[in-house]
Amino acid sequence: MSRLNGLAGCALLSLLVLAGCNADNKSANDLKPAALVNGQVIAADQIQSETAKLGQGPDGQAQTMANLALKNIVDQELLAQEAVKAKLNEKPDIQWKLDAARRQILAQAEIETMTRDVAAPAQAEIKAYYDSHPELFSQHKIYQLAYLVANTTAGNIAKARELAQKGGTVQALAAALQAQGITVGGQRVVKGAEELPKDALDRFAAMKAGQSLTLDQGGKLNIIVLEGVQERPISLEQAIQTIGVYLINDKKRQQIDGQLNKIRTAAKIEYRAPYSMPEAAKVR
């Protein structure tokens, strides 16, 4: 019953009043209804979509779950209709939120159309990707790291960096920093190679235990100490599904970028000060 209770607790799932309070919206009213609220259709497809998100419910409870989902959406519709009566939909902050929701839904629909014909990668593509990234698979490693934040000042940051570069254990480094009057805090983490940025991974791969990286941030010195490394190779068989998902998503991204660049070039886009196109977008 916890699944049912969770559903009942989501009384206002997502208030999208895109067309919900327009009784003349024929495209909505042509849908198979689960209910009518003052003449406005609540589509059965929406109820099925909401209950599907919850997965398989208890035996014999499917209709009960659907009814709870419908109740929640009926409540949404009633509130939305009252908002329109009060002309809340005419308020500027509500209008741009409605526009944002509409854009998101339509943009996602266009993305799905753009990418529906993208083919799944062939086994040869998957094997080639596996072979070209040994650091992620055949030579995969697990890195044991300590993240330290040294509360440095302009007067002692150089000294803190010098101490970090000497290497050694985290405990020794923390003690040396504190001896200089520099307070330090931090935590230990374990990261797989795939969880690290490419530039950081390349640097960690060339480091030995006890060595560290330093990063200046807001006047404080962040120190990442490599405490240990474990070999954890991943076989091709283990990686096939992960690589396949990555490659098809990458193909979709390239498809979207290519189509969007064409659309953007053909469009008339006018920026108003102080806004402008980001420099990074201009070189794409």
Question: What is residue 21's predicted lDDT score, i.e. its pLDDT?
Answer: 39
Nearest to 19 by CA among 10, 11, 27: 27
| Domains with residue ranges and CATH for the chain | 2-115 (no CATH), 141-231 (3.10.50)
pLDDT of residue 2: 43
| Residue 100 confidence (pLDDT) above 80 | yes
205: CB partners within 8 A, 6+ apart: 135, 141
| pLDDT tens, residue by residue, 45-73 | 999 999 888 876 677 788 889 999 999 99
Q: What is the DSSP string of the chain?
A: -HHHHHHHT-SSS----SSTT-TT-HHHHTSPEEEEETTEEEEHHHHHHHHHTT-S-STT-HHHHHHHHHHHHHHHHHHHHHHHHTTGGGSHHHHHHHHHHHHHHHHHHHHHHHHTTPPPPPHHHHHHHHHH-TTTTTT-EEEEEEEEEE---TTTHHHHHHHHHT---HHHHHHHHHHTT--EEEEEEEEEGGGS-HHHHHHHHT--TT-EEEEEETTEEEEEEEEEEEE----HHHHHHHHHHHHHHHHHHHHHHHHHHHHHHHS-----TT----HHHHT-
Q: Is the pLDDT of residue 25 over 90?
A: no
Q: Give pLDDT, residue 280.
A: 62
The DSSP bridge partners found for residue 121 are: none
Average pLDDT over residues 256-266: 96
pLDDT value at residue 228: 94
- Choose the weakest-confidence range: 20-24, 141-145, 224-228, 262-266: 20-24
| Predicted local distance difference test score (pLDDT) of residue 76 | 95
Residue 111 has pLDDT above 80, yes or no: yes
Question: What does the pLDDT average to over 18-42?
Answer: 68
Could you tell me the pTM of the whole model?
A: 0.70
- Residue 284's pLDDT band, with cuts at 50, 70 and 90, is low
Q: Stretch 201-230: mean pLDDT, rounded?
A: 91
Give the C-alpha separation, 262 to 282, whole Å. 13
Find out whether the peptide bond into 274 is cis, omega within 30 degrees of 0: yes
**pLDDT tens-place string over residues 115-130:** 999 999 999 999 999 9
| Residue of 84, 88, 104, 112 whose CA lies nearest to 22 | 84
Report the percent of the chain where pLDDT is more than 70: 87
Give percent of the chain with pLDDT exceeding 90: 73
